[in-house]
Chain A
Amino acid sequence: MGIYSAGIYPAVLVVSAVVVVLGGVTMAWIRAHRVLEWAVTALWIATGVQAIAVVVLLLSGNDAGLVLTIGYLLATIVILPLMGIGRLGAPDAAAADPDPNRPVLQPDQIARVDGGAAVIVGIAAAVLAWRIAIILGAA
């Protein structure tokens, strides 16, 4: 529990905050998109480490409710792919889809979509990490 509450949980919060800030910056200044991609990768890694730590804590006899904890953990993982949602609007991806309503995005729009999605997902990831920490008794 010590490693989780003192290291992993704060790290997830910090990485989420960085993703939110860089997402906002990318929406205003699309050249930050490349840096945002690094932060997104960091959030994937932090979430993976968090998932492993939470499973280890549950297996080691933590009193946390299993359904709620696993539910929040799955939600944390499910939302991550939304950070790359801008790629779905790339011309080659849209051309492969017969759906006429699918938007085709320019490179600057893809960056802005990724930035906005990063803001949304970063906030959600931080809230979910906080909820998991509360359930585990680590916050």
Chain B
Amino acid sequence: MNAVGRILLIAAYAILGLAATGRSVVQITTKLSEAPLPYLVSGASALLYVLIAIALWRGWRRVAIVGTAVELVGVLVVGTLGYAAPELWPDETVWTGYGSAYGWVPLALPVIALVVLLRGRGADAEAVATPAD
């Protein structure tokens, strides 16, 4: 995996994890009964961001790939349901509007991460298939 890309992804996920954790902790501890589904989704997304950051840092590539794939699906599902079934979402989550409140970073980041992770896996496999003399 590209070292520069990996470290920048760690930084991005760490900051997003910090933001989502802060937001969800305030929401869950102060007003969970008002909108349980959105606030629990925010909490789950925060845990996912922290897990992906740790996985990237520790070199757990499979965990990072699965985590970013789940993140991408989550952003797309929650973003779509926000328009298709707005009654389910009395308040916003990190993934509402495909992450529009966070500059669509929650949508762009998993795509970039998957490209970096999968391209790195392909490069590693190629290196194993054609070892140097």
Contact = CB atoms under 8 A, between A and B. Distances in A.
Interface size class of B (residues with CB under 8 A): 10 to 19
A68 interface: yes
B22 A71 contact: yes
Contacts of A103: 3, 6-7
Contacts, number: 56
B27 to A, nearest CB: 11
A75 B59 CA distance: 26
A112 interface: yes
Given A78-B18, A82-B14, A82-B15, A68 B7 contact: no
Nearest to A83: B11
Contact of A75 (B4, B11, B12, B19): B19
Contact of A116 (B4, B22, B26, B103): B4
B22 to A, nearest CB: 5
B85 to A, nearest CB: 29
Contact of B7 (A67, A71, A85, A99): A85
B58 interface: yes
B8 interface: yes
Interface centre among B3, B11, B12 (most CB of A within 10 A): B11
B11 to A, nearest CB: 5
Nearest to B57: A101
A109 B4 CA distance: 6
Interface size class of A (residues with CB under 8 A): 20 to 34
Contacts of B103: 123
A82 B59 contact: no
Contact of A82 (B3, B11, B19, B57): B11
Nearest to B21: A75
B59 A101 contact: yes
Interface in A34-50: none
B22 A117 contact: no
Interface in A75-125: 75, 78-79, 82, 85-86, 88-89, 99-101, 103-105, 109, 112-113, 116-117, 120-121, 123-124
Given A112-B4, A113-B7, A116-B4, A79 B18 contact: yes
11 contacts: A82-B14, A82-B15, A89-B3, A103-B3, A105-B3, A109-B3, A109-B4, A113-B4, A113-B7, A113-B8, A124-B19
